[in-house]
Amino acid sequence: MDEIKSLLNSMKLAVDERDRYIKSLEEKNKRLSMENERMVKEKNIHQNQFIDCHKRLNDSNDLVRKLENIINPLESKEETKIEDGDFPDDLSTSSKLDDDIVALIACQICNEQFQSDGERIPCNLKCLHNICKKCAESWMQVGFEFCAHHRILWYDSIYL
């Protein structure tokens, strides 16, 4: 009789151990399912950001091409005689306009003119600053994680 009780006790302990193991597997499965759902959502967000990035890149490339078409003919024009009436009344306005144009066509870190392809293509940041691909890659390799102007996280803001 004692042997039967001992055997039943051993079986009960084994069943309890199995139940605990099954319960831990169920909890682990639930955690993994939740992690999988989170990762799928994150993947979808990144896909949408990637699509948006390419749209912005195409828009930037179009803008760079338009600006190159405007600037290149201006650079190749022969110098002409300037008449008195050709100067703007307020030179600071002209300078401000020049600065605005440079901000659109040049990297705000290295000040190199953007190009429609290669390492000088513009990267639009969420904070609306534009930097070239080369500077963006250099900054990320060095470990800088923030926009040089607004201190906004790169991975939150960069659109290559």
Distance CA 38, CA 30 (A): 12
Tell me which residue range forms the domain holding 135: 2-74+92-159
Asked if the structure places residue 146 within a domain, the reply is yes
Neighbours of 124 (CB within 10 A): 20
Asked if the structure places residue 140 within a domain, the reply is yes
Asked if the structure places residue 35 within a domain, the reply is yes
Asked if the structure places residue 109 within a domain, the reply is yes
Global confidence as pTM: 0.36
Number of domains in the chain: 1
pLDDT in tens, the chain (160 residues): 888 888 999 999 999 999 999 999 999 999 999 999 999 999 988 888 888 888 888 888 888 888 777 776 655 544 444 444 444 444 444 455 566 666 678 888 888 888 888 888 888 776 777 788 888 888 777 766 667 666 665 554 444 4
List the one residue out of 128, 129, 67 whose CA is nearest residue 101.
Answer: 67
- Assign residue 46 the CATH number of its domain: 3.30.40.10
Can you tell me which residue has the tokens 């749209």? Answer: 55
